[in-house]
Amino acid sequence: MFLLGRIRLVTAQQFYQPGYLSRLTQELTDYYPQVIGIMTGHLHYDWTQSLRVGYQHELPVIGVPSVSPFFGNQPSFKVYHYVPAVARIDDIYT
């Protein structure tokens, strides 16, 4: 489930066939310490949610806006600042 604060915008089930969702869930469970976030561009607008992995962990899921105004949005792109020493994204600029 993808959460924005405590408001659910969408669920992963809306984007994946059951077999692929099961595989994604297993991969994230197995490799959670190495995954710092998920970046997606399918929705064509700027958004951020959390994906719950297991019962204790949450990963940021970051929507990347479209570079085209075709869907009525402002064309844009994102720049991520990654800090290798702590293995996390420190800041995001849109």
Assessment of whether the complete model's pTM goes beyond 0.85: no
For residue 46, which of 67, 61, 62 has the smallest C-alpha distance?
Answer: 62
pLDDT in tens, the chain (94 residues): 444 445 555 665 566 777 887 888 888 888 888 888 888 877 777 778 888 887 777 888 888 888 888 777 778 888 889 898 988 888 888 8
Residue count of the chain = 94
3-class SS string, 16-82: CCHHHHHHHHHHHHHHHHHCCCEEECCCCCCEEEEEEECCCEEEEEEECCCCCHHHCCCCCCCEEEE
Contacts of 66 (CB under 8 A, 6+ apart): 41, 44, 45, 73, 75
What is the C-alpha separation between 63 and 45, in angstroms, rounded? 7
Question: What confidence score (pLDDT) does residue 5 get?
Answer: 46
